[in-house]
Amino acid sequence: MTGKVRDIMSAAPVCMAATESVSAAAKAMKERGVGTVLVVSGGRLEGMVTERDITIRVLAENRDPATTRLGDIYTSELAVLRPEDDVQHAARLVRDRAVRRLPVIADGVPVGVVSIGDLALDRDERSALSEIPATAPDR
């Protein structure tokens, strides 16, 4: 597992304000084909909301996605990566922090997301797994 985070990350992350609704984030996840929304304020990363967060913090809690704001459910105090970090470092963070997705920050600004799928695909680029499109439905 060699290479840099910039080589495997999904660039151009979806960024939204903490005041946006969960419904708006779900629509963005659908339209952009992603499972993560980065929550930003003045261009700086404040937190992250994933599909999983919406399942367990909104649907399972009977909260209304139209009135629940990202600021109510986001995960803050995130472990973050830099584009120049080694992929091996990313894999270690994913394992040690038991997270599936990590934001990538350059000069304080979010520039990408690395997911456990990106790492699996990178593990052996000649393996069959690498032929599963990174954008394939999560099922």
Partner 1 sequence: MDAKVRDVMTPGPIGVDYHQSIGTAARTMRDWGVGAGLVVSDQALYGLVTDRDLVVSDQALYGLVTDRDLVVRAVAESKGPDEPVGPLSSRDLVGVRADDDAAVAVALMREHAVRRLPVIEDGQVAGIVSLGDLAPPDES
**Sites of contact with partner 1 (CB under 8 A):** 1, 22-23, 26-27, 29-30, 35, 50-52, 54-56, 58-60, 62, 65-66, 88, 90-92, 94-95, 100, 116-117, 119-120, 123, 127-129, 131-133, 136-139
Q: Which is nearer to partner 1, 45 or 94 (CB)?
A: 94
Q: What stretch of H or E contains 54?
A: helix 51-54
At closest approach, how far in Å is the CB of 45 from partner 1?
21
Is residue 81 within 8 A of residue 3, CB to CB? The reply is no
Nearer to partner 1, 19 or 127 (CB): 127
Residue closer to partner 1, measured from CB, 109 or 134:
134
Query: What distance, in Å, lies between the first and last C-alpha atoms of the chain?
Result: 25
Cβ closer to partner 1: 15 or 26? 26
Nearer residue to partner 1 within complex by CB, 96 or 107 = 96
**Which positions ≥6 away from 124 have C-beta within 8 Å?**
130
Count of other CB atoms within 10 angstroms of residue 122: 21
Q: What is the nearest approach in angstroms of partner 1 to the Cβ of residue 129? A: 5
Q: Min. distance of Cβ 60 from partner 1 in angstroms? A: 4
CB of 41 to partner 1, least distance (A): 23
Distance of CA 76 to the CA centre of its chain: 13
Q: Distance between CA atoms of 131 and 128, rounded to whole angstroms?
A: 6
| Amino acid letter, 28 | A
